[in-house]
Amino acid sequence: MRADDAPRDLVLRGATAARVKEQVVRSTLRVLRLAARRPDAVGHIPGMG
């Protein structure tokens, strides 16, 4: 998305899209695990504090 909320022209498909999705899921899980172990760290994560 652009600053004016207009969609971008880039579309990911196939193996590239799968890799990007996997990275998003893994990073989300890492943040959730960190928050479970160290709740004090959550305040430093935008959107979770």
For 4-46, write each residue's pLDDT tens digit. Answer: 888 878 889 999 999 999 999 999 999 889 888 988 877 766 7
Q: Write out the residue range of the structural domain in which residue 43 sits.
A: 1-49
Q: Which residues of 19-30 are buried (b: 16+ CB within 10 A; e: fewer)?
A: eeeeeeeeeeee
pLDDT at position 14 = 97
pLDDT at position 1 = 63
Q: What share of the chain is helix, strand, coil (3-state, %, to 5)?
A: 60, 0, 40
pLDDT at position 39 = 82
How many domains, the chain? 1
Positive or negative, the Cα torsion across 13, 18, 23, 26?
Answer: positive
Measure the CA angle with vertex 12, ends 4 and 8; round to 5°. Answer: 15
